Amino acid sequence: MTTDAKPSSRERLLEAAATLTYRDGVGIGVDALCKAAGVSKRSMYQLFASKDELLAASLKERASAYTATLLPAADDNRSPRRRIMHVFDQLESQAGAPDFQGCRYLVVQIELKDQGHPASRVAHRVKENLTGFFRAEAERGGASDPDLLARQLILVFDGASARAGIQADSPTGLIVPTVTTLLDAAGVS
């Protein structure tokens, strides 16, 4: 006989922070977070020093799952070009979901504006790692300027994510030709 363990107060707070801040923004209040988690404010402050730390912990906890969904497996034997395209295929797939509001890590950075905020630092590392992936694959693929190509690819990724997130445009039919043009111009095979 199996019993489903009830999530801990910490887990419920992390989930509430992830859900509410993605849906409503980082300005969501502590009362709303605690209510959604079914946790008292006192308990929240025993677990996290501040709402800022709760938000940072929530983002950090989801970072590996986000990366695992977005990036191809390390032992994937596809060409660098196909590995880069995989990321954009994943973005296109995610952007088609009805509740897609853009890349949560980009959204947090835009909303907070303070690069020193604990959540901004987590988001910055996640975005830096994605740029690093693009740079490494560009190098492996023989790009003429891997740093420039990585910057261009993250610009396309963030731009497509943001425009899809605000429902200004769908990346379908835009991402593949745009990234293909960049990869061709850089000489990536």
The C-alpha atoms of residue 76 and residue 6 are separated, in whole angstroms, by 37
Measuring CA to CA, which residue among 69, 139, 81, 147 is closest to residue 105?
69
pTM passes above 0.85:
yes
Measuring CA to CA, which residue among 182, 180, 186, 184 is closest to residue 146?
186
Q: Give the model's pLDDT for residue 172.
A: 85
CB 105 within 8 A of CB 59: yes
Q: Which CATH superfamily hosts domain 7-48?
A: Homeodomain-like (1.10.10.60)
The C-alpha atoms of residue 69 and residue 94 are separated, in whole angstroms, by 10
Residues of the chain with CATH 1.10.10.60: 7-48
DSSP conformational letter for 147: H
Q: Give the model's pLDDT for residue 171.
A: 84
CATH code of domain 55-186: 1.10.357.10
pLDDT along the chain (189 residues), means of 10: 74 96 93 96 96 96 94 94 97 92 94 93 96 98 97 97 91 92 96
Residues of the chain with CATH 1.10.357.10: 55-186
Amino acid (one-letter) located at 83: R
Q: Give the model's pLDDT for residue 124.
A: 96
